[in-house]
């Protein structure tokens, strides 16, 4: 039985600001381990035991390369992170706009049917933590049996506490051999504490994980039954999609016309084939800083620490330093997160209000909600070091083989100093090779390009000077990454 993992890598993770931002959301961050959450998600399912070994149910499963659905702005980071762990995806589908999970899974299902008319989809958000991987693998095998028989299966997490931050699923009559799954009686929105406590005590309610397994054709059939306009829009978006540098780009107009809705609302709450599989797998959606504190290993004082941190008489805190030394004294139950341009200090009971900070930054037109000082590009990255009236200093890294666009600026000149590596610099009609401690000057209005022809990263310092230094003062004349 072939299983096709479909990893949903949308969303901005705003509740984990200031670390998670729109252009670098939580699924692309190394929050729990030395791998990003996207990488952990892909490796977790891809590490299923090989066919013919271990559990009999698992031995019948063959895991195919993953498919990822993400936004256009994240495509190069997604591709690079999969390359880092040695996984070549079956495809990376690019959403021109976010339309929630129901359309995202619909376009993935249509894409998969071109490979395999019997495709069995395992739908996984890219930003979850699962600590009991062996139990997760067994749950996949049980869900595969249910989905293979025509069910739309969802993984219901066995509650460990009366959590008010999760939706719940009420289980009904048993289905399948041995009662592995249950009919879905109803879906319940996030409850208040008293209701959550009654749910846990009843033993009939499970946390809604947002993970699913079903046949692609079954899902599309049910979507067409309950949301025919959504299905038609998704079909048009796939039918008129196009390839771009190995990515599958959905047709913008058709997909933008699609309604935005979740799988739960669009299909699972209406279908007669919804089944929930109880799973005790050490799961968390890491939806807040307090949730991240809960899933990480704590020291003897209950603290979770990362980075250059000094603590004295501190209990049950999460302290994370990204760029500077952070000292915390005599505090309890706090979250302290430092980045190079913002610091968050909050009580763990108040971390859900972080989204209000992000909304404030948006309304003020500030960049801190959207990106860090270090900004990733397909060719590498740049990081702001200093800025003042009519000047700006950046640290630029160009990956081996990386090539910036052929461009010009109307309002600024640039000075480049190579710190390490080799730079190929095009300035007008002249091409120059620069190495460590060498520099060059790009006048205002001059056509230019920077490349790294070497096998090691190129590091250089850029000093910009002029009347306007915004990133929108870039006129791209030619770009290997086909950006506008």
Residue matched to tokens 């139950």: 333
Same domain, 93 and 123: yes
Domain annotation covers residue 363: no
Contact 129, 283 (CB under 8 A): yes
The pTM for the full model equals 0.90
Domain annotation covers residue 380: yes
pLDDT in tens, 132-160: 999 999 999 999 999 999 999 999 999 99
Number of folded domains that form the chain: 3
Same domain, 70 and 199: yes
CATH code for the domain in which residue 443 is found: 2.60.120.10
How large is the average pLDDT for residues 336-359?
96
Same domain, 347 and 385: no
Q: What is the DSSP letter of 308?
A: S
In this predicted structure, what is the pLDDT of residue 52? Answer: 47
pLDDT in tens, 411-421: 999 999 999 99
pLDDT in tens, 42-59: 999 988 875 445 566 666
Same domain, 381 and 314: no
Same domain, 298 and 279: no
What's the domain range around 422?
374-478
One-character DSSP codes across 329-388: ES-BSEEEEE-SS-EEEEEGGGGGGHHHHHHHHHHTT-GGGT--SEEEETTEEEEEEEEE
Rounded distance, CA 173 to CA 181, Å? 9
Residue 242 pLDDT greater than 90, yes or no: yes
Residue matched to tokens 């083989």: 401
Domain annotation covers residue 483: no
């Amino acid at each position: 039985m072939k299983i096709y993992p479909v990893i949903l890598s949308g969303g901005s993770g705003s509740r984990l600001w200031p670390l998670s931002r729109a252009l670098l959301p939580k699924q692309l961050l190394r929050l729990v381990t030395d791998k990003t959450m996207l990488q952990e998600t892909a490796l977790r399912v891809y590490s299923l035991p090989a066919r013919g070994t271990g559990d009999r149910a698992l031995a019948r499963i063959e895991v195919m390369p993953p498919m990822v659905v993400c936004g256009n702005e994240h495509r190069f980071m997604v591709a690079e992170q999969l390359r880092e762990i040695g996984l070549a995806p079956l495809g990376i589908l690019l959403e021109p706009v976010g339309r929630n999970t129901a359309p995202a899974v619909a376009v993935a299902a249509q894409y998969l049917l071109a490979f395999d008319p019997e495709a069995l989809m395992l739908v996984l958000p890219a930003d979850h933590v699962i600590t009991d991987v062996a139990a997760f693998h067994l749950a996949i095998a049980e869900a595969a049996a249910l989905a293979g028989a025509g069910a739309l299966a969802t993984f219901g997490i066995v509650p460990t506490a009366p959590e008010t931050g999760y939706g719940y699923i009420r289980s009904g009559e048993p289905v399948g051999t041995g009662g592995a799954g249950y009919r879905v009686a109803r879906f319940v929105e996030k409850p208040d504490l008293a209701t959550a406590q009654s749910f846990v005590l009843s033993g009939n309610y499970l946390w809604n994980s947002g993970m699913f397994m079903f046949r692609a054709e079954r899902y599309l059939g049910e979507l067409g039954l309950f949301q025919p306009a959504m299905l038609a829009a998704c079909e048009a978006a796939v039918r008129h999609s196009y390839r771009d540098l190995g990515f599958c780009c959905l047709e913008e107009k058709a997909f933008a016309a699609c309604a935005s809705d979740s799988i739960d609302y669009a299909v699972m709450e209406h279908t007669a084939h919804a089944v929930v599989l109880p799973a005790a797998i050490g799961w968390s959606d890491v939806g807040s800083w307090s949730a991240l504190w809960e899933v990480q290993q704590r020291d003897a004082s209950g603290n979770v620490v990362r980075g250059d941190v000094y603590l004295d008489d501190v209990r049950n805190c999460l302290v994370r330093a990204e760029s500077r030394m952070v000292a915390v004294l005599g505090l309890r139950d706090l979250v302290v997160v430092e980045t190079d341009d913002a610091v968050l200090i909050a009580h763990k009971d108040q971390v859900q209000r972080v989204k209000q900070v992000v909304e404030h930054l948006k309304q003020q037109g500030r960049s801190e909600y959207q990106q860090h000082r270090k900004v990733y590009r397909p060719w590498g990255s740049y990081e702001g070091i200093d800025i003042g009236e009519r000047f700006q200093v950046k640290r630029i890294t160009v990956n081996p083989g990386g090539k910036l666009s052929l461009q010009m600026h109307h309002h600024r000149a640039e000075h480049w100093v190579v710190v390490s590596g080799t730079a190929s610099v095009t300035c007008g009609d002249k091409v120059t090779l620069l190495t460590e401690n060498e520099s060059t000057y790009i006048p205002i209005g001059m056509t230019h390009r920077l490349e790294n022809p070497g096998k090691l990263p190129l590091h250089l310092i850029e000093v910009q000077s002029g009347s306007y230094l915004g990133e929108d003062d870039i006129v791209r004349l030619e770009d290997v990454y086909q950006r506008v």
